[in-house]
Amino acid sequence: MRKLSQGPGAHFRKFLQDWSIPRQIAGASLRDKAAESQTSRDLRPRLEEADRVGTSICPFCAVGCSQLIYAKDGVPIHIEGDPRSPVNQGTLCPKGGGTLGLLLSPKRVTDVLYRAPRSDKWEKKPLEWAMDRIAERVKRTRDETFVEKLPDGRTVNHTLGLGSLGGATMDNEENYLIKKLFGGGLGMLNIENQARI
Amino acid sequence: MALWDLENSDCIVIMGSNMAENHPIAFRFVVEAKRRGATIIHVDPRFTRTSALADLHAPLRSGSDIAFLGGIIHHILENDLWFKEWAMAYSNIAHIIEDSYRGSEDQDGIFSGFDSDAGTYDEKSWQYEDKTVPSSIAEHRASSREGEQGDYRSMSKGPPHLDETLQHPFCVYQIMRRHFARYTPEMVESVTGCPKDTFLKVADALARNSGRERTGAFCYAVGWTHHSVGVQIIRACSIIQGLLGNIGRPGGGIMALRGHVSIQGSTDIPTLYNMLPTYLPQPNAFHDHMSLSAYLKVETPPTGWWNNFPKYMVSLLKAWYGADATPGNDFGYDHLPKLTGDVSQEPMTLCMVDGIVKGQFILGQNPMVGAVNTDMVERGLGRLDWLVVRDMAMIETADFWKNGRLIEKGELTPADIDTEVFFLPCAMPGEKDGTVTNTSRLVQWHDHVCEAPGDCRSDLWFIYHLGRRLKGLYETSTETRDAAIKALTWDYPLKGERREPDAETVLKEINGYTVADRTQVAKYQDLKDDGSTACGGWMYCGIYPEAGKNMARSRRPDTPGGKGAAHLDWAFAWPSNRRTLYNRASADPAGKPWSERKKLIWWDDGAGKWDGDDVPDFVETKRPDMRPDWATQPTGMDALGGDKPFIMEADGYCQLFVPTGLKDGPLPMHYEPLESPVRNPMHGQQHNPTAKIWARPGNELHPPEDPLHPYVFTTYRLTELHCGGISTRIMPHTAELQPEAFVEVSPELAGELGIQHLGWTVLSTSRASIEVRAMVTQRVRPFTIAGRTVHQVGMPWVFGRLGYNPGAVANALLAITGDANTSIHSTKAVTCGLRAGRLTEAERHPGPPQAAE
Ligand code: SF4
């Protein structure tokens, strides 16, 4: 059991242990041994607890700074610039440096929300329910608005009734599948993102 | 050029960008260049941190960039400061243009070929003599009329006509001298407000730092693109760099500083309406695109690298439609939807308002903050049948029906809005893996480190599982209209409990593979047009060249002083892992570097190939002295000699004068912004006659010299807050650092209007009025334009109603308009009214429309 109080002798012994002057007199270096104390001995590198690290790219601007993401028990605990990157050599700007605050922001929404027509509130919904319903709505709108041929007989095979906006914040693989499914599969033309220039 | 190559510049002009604040880490290369002795210049309406770190700040009125750059061109030409050996060999300065060409200087601001009813140009009179020049990006034709393509085969029949004495009145040199004759330093001062002496220092610094031994670079951002003449501003810059020989060489070039993390990737592999992956044109019902063979015939330039176009197109169709894509059915070409007009974001918004778009996905974008004319966007959202929003936190675009501007104004209530809204939370980097492409084409892989919380999923997950469901819903259909979704290849391995699709498999498909044995294609030179190869994006070919080799994952930087420090083993730069495009121009026509100091690649005669510090942007074994055999009517690269670096152009020359590919003229011309406090001081044509204007109630433009809206208004970002999205507004540190929106006003204007520093002001346009506190600062100065004082104000556009630091939405003030070439809106130079005080009750809560009238 931990002692609830320590006698004056214990304090004195700790003081003597941490007192650096005798060690300095004995010739220890001011930069390490002579400066040591119980407090400094108890300091741990903040990443010691990480059980995983991965390379990432800063999610904000197109400079493309590399980051290292450290995680513990599946939760990110620290994000810093990757010193190996010739782009940023370990540095990050205030946005990149604050990335952990994005991943862990209390304002992140982690549920699917649904607003019925004319309703004045959000409702939580299961993800699978929402995916099924979105697929049905896409199919219905597509089937109602699809044009195979113009009045003069030219084949167009398109729908102008569906639109998609966004992409510049996403991965290339994601953009590829969006363009492939929406354009190549469904015949959508209104596909746009922030990259219009 | 690579970002780090800026270190090698001897002069860097930053214009249309506040690089130190908005691309801070890239700016460290500018600082390094300065340390090595380079001259740094910032041309900008405001004095920012970029200006503070520059050697010279040249102020100019927003929207007058072409007058400034045209002045530099004039200065270079009239003082004979251009790099003659480079420009004579590599640019089209000596090309002879059709004698039917008439410059805009002769026609009060309009070039020959203008159809004033249609508001479009016909490019016939802009062509090289006796030729019809195909555009390097086929979609960018001025005319969208059928049968207008002309005889591109003329390019195979002989070299373009040149006058190397530069005396021919229709050679590009003489045309340019006439065109830019009026861009004198005095005119520059009068149009831009930049003092003549300051302007001349910029022009001299650039010219002095160019030539064999020295190179200069330009850096720009959306301060150049978000105009009705955005493309032509960049064109003016390319003319300067083409005259000075600053292309394809170390430290030379034009650096586009783009916004979002993968905005370059989403241009290359475009979620854009007018292109298929890696710059192949989306078929158009009003071009000769009715069959694959017709499409390939009109879109394939006979000469130059783009002659390989059919290989890329057929390989894409194979990647998308797999076994269903056969020569017998045009490889599934008819599955591709055909365009019938501009459906970019601006008209898309109006199509929502008009009930044409009924269902909308919004995937990581927040148009209620980031798009112009917020009230119009909100009206459009409220007329949709359904809306799917995917983001990391609640955004203004998703809860518009509850808290939008129109609700706040009392114009609508939630019960008036029929839109069914789905909000799906998304996974963030670190919670998914994949590649993003940075502003200098560097494609970098990022790892999946943690699982995303709750129902947050990657967009890859969302799109894959939506596609899987839709394929299921259409499985039994026998309708031809459903053939595309049925044929679409959609088998990607799924990982883990959440059944996350494997991003590497998607990247492998983008890279391409041979169909028979599904081995990876190593390089795009191996792609075929017979259906034996599949490739989702030819320019990315080589990123995954063999099984187990993901080049985007490569993480070996060069050591200091290493081979050219091109960092060829750090990730992958498209195309072919090349870091500097057109780097053949870094050597002289004979293949020798222009100087030891600026060497990059060179011809190694012993080895019989190009070698150097970068991957050569040329046919590896083509000798510098190779010349086309015109008797054989050569095609493709055989039509380009060994001294023609610009291989994506049909004749291999850098285009100072553009015969095809621009919708608003072969040379840049100063037009006033669509809204301007002054009449065009240079000619009668006030604004770009081909700009896109959608005039309708709620989207009216202010006339020139409008007394109600006398001030120039511009928008910009802040270091701590990233664009219109919610990300940095829900991050504690960044939100705290920028707690509130503001408008920057000069002390002179503040004095005139009685505005106090930190006091309230009302900014107004015909679209909206907003209230915001004033930052009275000398960073903004009044300009003298054509003898009159013109005030400019500016405001960050990165605030919104949500997050830790709510603030007024600057974009609410702006109108929906489009650049002629790109359809991008004008955000950098419009006009506004300004007063001290707050919104009146009638402005704040006008109520339903009838009550407001
Ligand atoms: S750290 Fe800053 S400069 Fe680097 S990518 Fe992120 S936002 Fe851009």
Provide the greatest CA pair distance for chain B. Answer: 84
Do the chains contact at B434 and A146, CB–CB below 8 Å?
Answer: no
Ligand 1: residues with CB < 6 A are A 58, 60-61, 63-65, 88, 92-93, 95-96; B 23-25
Asked if A91's CB is within 8 angstroms of B444's CB, the reply is no
Q: Return the domain boundaries, chain B.
A: 3-129+170-256, 692-844
pLDDT bracket for residue B145 (50, 70, 90): very low
Q: Is the pLDDT of residue B219 over 80?
A: yes
pLDDT at B850: 65
Name every chain B residue with its beta carbon within 8 A of the beta carbon of A59.
261, 428-429, 727
Q: At what angle do helices B459-474 and A127-145 cross, to 10 degrees?
A: 60
| β B280-281/A52-57 pair status | unpaired
Q: Does residue B844 carry a pLDDT above 50?
A: yes
Nearest to A193 among B271, B448, B565 (CB): B271
The answer to whether A165 touches A137, Cβ cutoff 8 Å, is no
Kindly report the protein residue whose alpha carbon is nearest to atom 8 of ligand 1: A61
- Residue A10 C-alpha, separation from nearest chain B C-alpha, in angstroms: 43
Task: Report the residue among A55, A57, A58 best suited for mutation to probe ligand 1: largest number of ligand atoms under 8 A from its CB.
Answer: A58
Among A86, A108, A133, beta carbon nearest to B393: A108
Whether residue A175 contacts residue B266, with contact meaning beta carbons closer than 8 Å, is answered with yes
Q: Which two tokens stand for residue B521?
A: 């294609």
Residue B118 pLDDT: 92
Residue B144: the pLDDT is 44
Tell me which of B806 and B849 has the higher pLDDT: B806
Considering the segment(s) B692-844 as one domain, its CATH architecture is: Beta Barrel (2.40)
B25 Cα nearest atom in ligand 1: 3
Residue having the nearest C-alpha atom to atom 3 of ligand 1: B25
Mean pLDDT, residues B6-10: 97
Report DSSP letters for B416-431, one per residue.
Answer: G---EEEEEEB--TBS
Instruction: State residue B278's pLDDT score.
Output: 96
CA B682 to chain centre: 27
Q: Could you tell me the residue ranges of all domains in chain A?
A: 4-42, 46-104, 112-196
Distance CA B440, CA B77 (A): 30
Among candidates B832, B811, B523, which has minimal Cα distance to B676?
B832
Interchain contact, B393 vs A87, CB within 8 Å:
no
Inter-chain residue contact A175 with B266, CB threshold 8 Å = yes
B54-73 per-residue burial string, b: 16 or more CB within 10 A, e: under 16: beebbbbbbbbbbbbbbbbb
**φ and ψ at B614, to 5 degrees?**
-125, 170
Q: Which of A101, A108, A187 sits opposite B337 (nearest CB)?
A: A187
Contact B417 A118 (CB under 8 A): yes
Number of Cβ within 10 Å of residue A33's Cβ equals 13
Q: How far is the C-alpha of B39 from the C-alpha of B11, rounded, in Å?
A: 5
pLDDT at B784 over 70: yes
Question: What local confidence, expressed as pLDDT, does residue B264 receive?
Answer: 96
B816: which residues sit within 8 A by CB, 6+ positions away?
B346, B349, B350, B372, B373, B376, B694, B699, B825
Distance CA B549, CA B19 (A): 35
State which amino acid sits at residue B209: N
User: Are the beta carbons of B270 and A166 separated by less than 8 Å?
Assistant: no
CA distance A77 to A70: 6
Confidence label for B563 from pLDDT (cuts 50, 70 and 90) = low
Among the partner-chain residues B434, B454, B467, the one whose CB lies closest to the CB of A172 is B434
Query: Are the beta carbons of A178 and B22 separated by less than 8 Å?
Result: no
DSSP letter at B829? S
Task: Identify the pLDDT of residue A45.
Answer: 83
- Please state the rounded mean pLDDT for residues B626-652: 97
The three-class DSSP label of residue A149 is: strand
Q: Which of A55, A57, A65 to mutate to test the pocket of ligand 1 (most atoms within 8 A of CB)?
A: A65
Q: CA of B568: which chain A residue's CA is closest?
A: A86
C-alpha–C-alpha distance, residues B753 and B773, integer Å: 14
CB contact under 8 A, B266 and A59: no
Percent of chain B with pLDDT over 70: 97
The residue with greater pLDDT, A1 or B755, is B755
A133-156 per-position pLDDT tens digit = 999 999 999 999 999 999 999 999
pLDDT at A37: 81
Measured CA to CA, the distance from residue B624 to residue B590 in angstroms comes to 5
Chain B residues with CB inside 8 Å of A155's CB? 290, 334, 338
Chain A residue whose CA is closest to B319? A180
Whether residue B224 contacts residue B822, with contact meaning beta carbons closer than 8 Å, is answered with: no
The CA-CA-CA angle for residues B755, B760, B766, to 5°, reads 90
The closest of B27, B30, B26, B49 to B40, measured between CA atoms, is B30
Is the pLDDT assigned to residue B383 strictly greater than 50? Answer: yes
For the cut 80, the answer to whether the pLDDT of residue B564 exceeds it is no
Contacting residues of A for B225, CB less than 8 Å apart: 197
Say if CB B377 and CB A165 are below 8 A apart: no
Q: What's the token pair of residue B525?
A: 């030179």
Mutate which: B228, B266, B273, vs A, most A CBs within 10 A: B266
Q: Does residue B271 contact residue B136 with C-beta atoms inside 8 Å?
A: no
Size of interface A-B (CB pairs under 8 A): 490
B146-201 confidence digits (pLDDT tens): 445 678 889 999 999 999 999 999 999 999 999 999 999 999 999 999 999 999 99
B240-293 pLDDT tens trace: 999 999 999 999 999 999 999 999 999 999 999 999 999 999 999 999 999 999
In ligand 1, the atom with minimum distance to the C-alpha of A60 is 7
Q: What is the pLDDT of residue B580?
A: 96
Interface contact flag, A191 B273, Cβ < 8 Å:
yes
Q: What is the rounded distance in angstroms from the CA atom of residue B405 to the CA atom of residue B411? A: 9
Residue to substitute from B28, B351, B361, B468, interface A, most A β-carbons within 10 A: B361
Helix (H) or strand (E) holding A159, with range, is: strand A155-165
- pLDDT of B852 above 50: no
pLDDT of the residue at B290: 94
Whether B325 and B336 have beta carbons less than 8 Å apart is answered as no
Q: Which of A142, A136, A137 is nearest to A188 (CA)?
A: A142
Give the model's pLDDT for residue A20: 80
Which H or E run includes B65?
helix B65-78
Handedness of CA B307, B309, B315, B317 (dihedral sign): negative
User: Helices B196-208 & B65-78, crossing angle to 10 degrees?
Assistant: 60
Residues of chain B with C-beta less than 8 angstroms from the C-beta of A179: 269-271, 276-277
A126 close to A112: Cβ distance less than 8 angstroms: yes
Question: Mean pLDDT of all residues in chain B?
Answer: 96
Alpha-carbon gap: A18 to the closest alpha carbon of chain B (Å): 37
What is the fold, at CATH topology level, of the domain defined by B3-129+170-256?
Dimethylsulfoxide Reductase; domain 2 (3.40.228)
Residues B588-609: pLDDT tens digits?
A: 999 999 999 999 999 999 999 9
Kindly tell me if the per-residue pLDDT of B799 is higher than 70. Answer: yes
Residue pair B556/B546 in contact by the 8 Å Cβ criterion = no
Q: Quick one: which of B577, B624, B580 has its CA closest to B602?
A: B624
- Residues of chain B positioned with their CB less than 8 A from the CB of A163: 348, 351-352, 357, 359-361
Question: What's the B581 CA to ligand 1 centre distance in angstroms?
Answer: 24
Identity of the residue numbered B253: G
Q: Number of C-alpha atoms within 13 angstroms, CB side, residue B349?
A: 28
> Closest Cα partner for B149 from B129, B135, B170?
B135
CA-proximal residue: ligand 1, atom 4 (nearest):
A65
If one compares B716 and A39, the residue with the highest pLDDT of the two is: B716
Task: Choose one of A55, A56, A57, A63 to mutate for the ligand 1 pocket test, by most ligand atoms within 8 angstroms of C-beta.
Answer: A63
Residues of chain A positioned with their CB less than 8 A from the CB of B348: 163, 165, 190, 192
Q: Residue A79: helix, strand or coil by DSSP? A: strand
**What is the Å distance from ligand 1's center to B444 Cα?**
14
Ligand 1, atom nearest to A67 Cα: 1
Exposed, middle or buried by CB within 10 Å (0-12, 13-18, 19+), for B635? middle
Strands B114-115 and B120-121, sheet pairing: antiparallel
Kindly state the average pLDDT of the residues B205-234.
97
Cα–Cα dist A190/A182, whole Å: 9
B43-70 mean pLDDT: 98
Distance of CA B787 to the CA centre of its chain: 34
B373 CA → ligand 1 middle, Å: 28
Q: List pLDDT tens digits, range B502-513.
A: 999 999 999 999
Cis geometry, peptide bond prior to residue B593 (ω within 30 degrees of 0)? no
Comparing C-alpha atoms, which of B434, B231, B175 is closest to residue A175? B434
Ligand 1 center–CA B451 separation, angstroms: 23
The pLDDT value recorded for residue B310 is 97
What is the reported pLDDT for B314?
98
What atom in ligand 1 is closest to the CA of residue B23? 3
**What is the rounded distance in angstroms from the CA atom of residue A66 to the CA atom of residue A86?**
9
For the segment(s) A46-104, the CATH number from 3.40.50.2000, 3.40.1580.10, 3.30.200.210, 3.60.15.10 is: 3.30.200.210
pLDDT (0 to 100) of residue B146 = 45
Nearest to B303 by CA among B581, B598, B638, B4: B638
CB contact under 8 A, A172 and B370: no
